[in-house]
Amino acid sequence: MAQKITKRSESFSDWYNDIVMRAELADYAPVKGCMVIRPNGFALWENIQRVLNKMFKDTGHRNAYFPLFIPESFMKKEAEHVEGFAPHCAVVTHGGGKELEEALYVRPTSETVIWSMYSKWIQSYRDLPLLLNQWANVVRWELRPRLFLRTNEFLWQEGHTAHATAEEAEEETVKMLNVYRTFAEDYMAMPVICGRKTESEKFAGAVRTYCIEAMTQDRKAIQAGTSHNLGQNFAKAFDVTYQTADGKREYVYATSWGVSTRLIGALVMAHSDDQGLVLPPRLAPTQVVIVPIWKNLDERPKVLEYVARVRKAILEARTCSGVLGDLSIELYVDDREQYTPGWKFNEWELKGVPLRLEAGPKDLEKNSVVAVRRDTGKKEFIPLADVPTAIPARLEDIQKGLFERALAFRKANTFALDTYDEFQKVIVDGDGGFVSAHWCSDAECEKGIQDETKATIRCIPLDAQPESGQCIRCGKPSERRVVMAKGY
């Protein structure tokens, strides 16, 4: 606890690492570029999984598990795919003490192995749509690894669906993008822009890639989820056809979509502060911590008895209130004797518990508790009788407050610009941010922008209105604005 957390204003990058390490979300593994997800981080991932699993199930998907290893020959069946992924793969050459006849790639993503199975399972229109998802580890060798953001191995989910028509596949691609948006905004309290990736940024093997992009506190963009319309590319590579209702054979249409443990990095960068982690109540493993306070040990029994009453009032509330949706309130009474109340306050601020309650002899006398919000630090007295309604209400306030604060921050740091000079002032010389600007749709110009400013075209927003303009860099005509920013 003695080590200090670097301030965001000093170094955002060091601050991020300090938060991840000090809040014990993750640690560096002995294998270069890999991380260990510690219990505090994994509990967040489990909550992410639980919520998304329900959303996937509600949209008709089922979970399955496909193999870790992909034969080299499979990787090569889809030309763009192998070009995009093979250079970043880990390759197994020996197994069971012998050199393998064919090298095996550790999956960087599972389209190839899954579509080889779909060729076996899909025969008729009756087998469609096929809507599967898997939770798995994947491996992609990274040049500059960062905890949660880019690691050689990470955990993710990958949905892989098969459809009879191009329209259905497109509908699914957009539907799952919206699932991700709902999750990011309603659970992570993180506003996102839904958009389409440019040709050069799309998934290797996709027809179209959609994404959600969030803004970090250092005014960069972080891609938080992607959804791909794969057209018939993989169906053709793995010869997956189906018999239509009128007896013809057609290739199947595919989608894939995924989010990863990178979301935890995005969550940290969206809300946390110089005191530590700030977690939205709907994803926090513990929503409320109660710290009993006494000056001398005589007071201890009656304070603990009072704390037990407070605890009971909250536990009763959590079964009937439902204001936090499907998440119940998890609470922890920190009655450890070896630590002072002040130490505990710091500890739970560092760990990001949304609401801290304090109860001492004076609170007992007044029949109330002190409540301190993690997001604002605001302190208030809540009468015991109000606890069952006030606690869920405060948590809901925090959830909304985090979203609104992040949204206001994004608005304040998003600029509609029309000259390359202004653009460079914001992105290169200034504090950064999202720039809404015209672009000629030319990949050369896109590359030029990146080389000259380190900003990339994050996406073409789905809600972008048609608007005639001139490319911010080359002046050629443009039909709509895109979002540019430096990214993670």
Instruction: Name the residue nearer to a second copy (CB basis): 64 or 416.
Output: 64
Taking the least distance from each CB to a second copy, the nearer of 82 and 402 is: 82
29 binds a second copy (CB under 8 A): yes
Nearer to a second copy, 50 or 400 (CB): 50
Stretch that binds a second copy, among 133-141, 159-167, 420-428, 477-485 (CB under 8 A): 133-141
Q: How far is CA 122 from CA 323, 353, 382, in A?
A: 43, 47, 60
Would you say 26 or 222 has its CB closer to a second copy?
Answer: 26
Q: Indicate whether 39 belongs to the interface with a second copy (CB under 8 A).
A: yes
Determine, following the binding rule CB under 8 A, whether residue 57 of this chain makes contact with a second copy: no
- Minimum CB distance to a second copy smaller for 238 or for 403: 238
Span 58-77, contacts to a second copy by CB under 8 A: 62-71, 74
**Among the residue ranges 30-38, 171-179, 223-231, 380-388, the one whose residues contact a second copy (CB under 8 A):** 30-38
Length of the chain: 488
Contact pick of 5, 51, 122, 132 for a second copy (by CB under 8 A): 132
Q: How many residues bind a second copy (CB under 8 A)?
A: 54
**Both structure tokens of 375:** 């997001």
Q: What is residue 331's three-state secondary structure?
A: strand
The stretch near a second copy (CB under 8 A) out of 36-44, 157-165, 371-379, 421-429 is 36-44
CB of 205 to a second copy, least distance (A): 18
For residue 130, the minimal CB distance to a second copy (Å) is 10
Q: Does 97 bind a second copy (CB under 8 A)?
A: yes
Cα atoms in the 13 Å half-sphere on the side-chain side of 175: 17
Site membership for a second copy, residue 46 (CB under 8 A)? yes
Supply the Cα-derived Rg of the chain in whole angstroms: 25
Q: Based on CB atoms, which residue is closest to a second copy, 27 or 298?
A: 27
120 binds a second copy (CB under 8 A): yes
Please pick, from the candidates 7, 94, 362, 379, the single residue that binds a second copy as defined by CB under 8 A.
94
Strand, helix or coil for residue 304: helix
Regarding 324 and contact with a second copy (CB under 8 A), the answer is no
Which candidate, 106, 101, 110, places its Cα nearest to that of 69?
106
Contact between 55 and a second copy by CB under 8 A: the answer reads no
Which of the stretches 57-65, 182-190, 378-386, 421-429 binds a second copy when contact is defined by CB under 8 A? 57-65
Taking the least distance from each CB to a second copy, the nearer of 137 and 182 is 137
Residue 136 or 214: which CB sits closer to a second copy?
Answer: 136
DSSP-derived 3-state class of residue 159: strand
Beta bridge mates, 445? none
Q: Which stretch binds a second copy (CB under 8 A): 132-140, 167-175, 297-305, 392-400?
A: 132-140
User: What is the pattern of x (binds a second copy, CB under 8 A) and - over residues 341-380?
Assistant: ----------------------------------------
- Segment near a second copy (CB under 8 A); pick from 152-160, 194-202, 229-237, 298-306: 152-160
Q: Exposure of 298 by Cβ count < 10 A (0-12 exposed, 13-18 middle, 19+ buried)? A: exposed
In this structure, what token pair is assigned to residue 476? 């050629």
Q: Which of 317, 484, 327, 463 is nearest to 399 (CA)?
A: 327
DSSP state, 299? Answer: G
Q: Which tokens belong to 130?
A: 């096929």
- Of 100 and 304, the one with the shorter C-beta distance to a second copy is 100
Q: Rule CB under 8 A: is residue 136 a binding residue for a second copy?
A: yes
For 34, phi then psi, to 5°, come to -105, 160
Q: Is 441 left (phi over 0), alpha (psi -120 to 50) or beta?
A: left
User: Is residue 371 within 8 Å of 380, Cβ to Cβ?
Assistant: yes
- Residue ranges of E strands in 153-287: 153-163, 192-196, 208-215, 221-231, 241-243, 249-251, 253-260
Q: Please give the structure tokens belonging to residue 351.
A: 């760990």
Give dist(CA 272, CA 284) in Å, integer. 13
Of positions 20, 155, 254, 327, contacts a second copy by CB under 8 A: 155
d(CA 38, CA 226) in angstroms, rounded, equals 26
Among 55, 92, 324, 464, binds a second copy (CB under 8 A): 92
Candidates 115-123, 174-182, 226-234, 439-447: pick the segment binding a second copy (CB under 8 A). Answer: 115-123
| Structural contact between residues 242 and 128, judged by C-beta atoms closer than 8 angstroms | yes
Beta strands at 221-231 and 253-260: parallel, antiparallel or unpaired: antiparallel
Are the C-beta atoms of residues 177 and 194 closer than 8 Å to each other?
yes
Using CB under 8 A as the binding rule, whether residue 323 contacts a second copy is answered as no
* Residue whose tokens read 């990736």: 197
State how far Cα 336 lies from the chain centre. 34
Residue ranges that bind a second copy, judged by CB under 8 A: 27, 29-31, 34-39, 42-43, 45-46, 62-71, 74, 86-97, 104, 106, 113, 116-117, 120-121, 132, 136-137, 139, 141-143, 152-153, 155
